Amino acid sequence: MLPNKKQQTFALISRRYTPSVIQSLATIADFLQGAGHIVIYEQETAQGAAIPGVASMPLDELANIATAAIVVGGDGTMLGIGRRLAPYNVPLIGINHGRLGFMADIPLDRMIPVLSDMLEGKYVTERRILLDGAILREEQTIHRAMAFNDIVISRGAGSGMIELSVEVDGHFMYSQRSDGLIISTPTGSTAYALSAGGPLLHPSLSGIGLAAIAPHALSNRPIVVPDSSEILVEIVEARFPTINFDSQSFASVHNGDCLLVRRSKCEVTFIHPKGWSYYDTLRDKLGWNESGQGNSLGSDG
């Protein structure tokens, strides 16, 4: 993918245009060009960052020629760009200019040394699944979108709960009354699903998580189903229900509408620094005890 000495083309992308981000973009471009590679700014990035004298191109055109995309920003930027590049199989390198950095995992103060190592073939790759969601009304598709993190059915702005009926592979699983339902990829298990009490899923797992938001019945627990599953959720009763995809694409729906969720045919490849570990990321971002001497269930007493 990267480990060769031939000239390669890198897409440089951001959705933040503060002076520090613009400086980071320029530093990366100078480094890659100095190493003999081609750097092309995604068109919107070039306009927002106001960088003169640098080639730019619309993302869908750039995706056809880029070896990899370097994304400077936070996880939200990675989500949006990941969805758009997934059909082109362009791998992503994330430079963390945000806060958490579950996906954009290269720190600013290490970006040039890490990129230098990557050009020498010192990196690891990882593939992540996406979800394809279709909203059905009277068996006709009225909206379709992909999700990298999750698809969320919510009660919307109205008071009261939403009532849902859930089937998996044609088998009735449960009815629930709640504030909503989160259907997440393993990537999304550290996002909204985690806040709703869902399990952490390692990105290599072939599973899709379902977690109710504030369920009326406490017995309604999160569940993980195979990612080969076809999940059908009917909106039985709600006042102003909505469905969102990664909190970046929204659709208003009606009682009787259904959401059909399958694993997408597209995947996203991440390029991580050599030695990267998902467990290191969890420990760092979630503040897990590093010494192994924290609270335990047992007692020596």
Burial class (CB in 10 A: 0-12, 13-18, 19+), 45: buried
- Tokens 């004298």 sit on residue: 53
**Helix, strand or coil for residue 195?**
helix
CA dist., res. 71 & res. 173, Å (int): 40
What DSSP designation does 197 have?
T
Alpha carbon of residue 231 to chain centroid: 20
Question: Which residues does the annotation mark as catalytic?
Answer: 75
DSSP-H helix ranges across 137-258? 192-195
Q: For CA atoms 284, 281, 208, 226, give the dihedral sign.
A: negative
Phi, psi (deg, nearest 5) at residue 130: -125, 165
**Helix, strand or coil for residue 90?**
coil
Alpha carbon of residue 64 to chain centroid: 22
Pick the closest to residue 236 from 173, 156, 175 (CA basis).
175
The order of strands in the sheet holding 249-252 is 223-226, 207-213, 180-184, 150-154, 242-245, 249-252
What letter represents residue 168's amino acid?
V
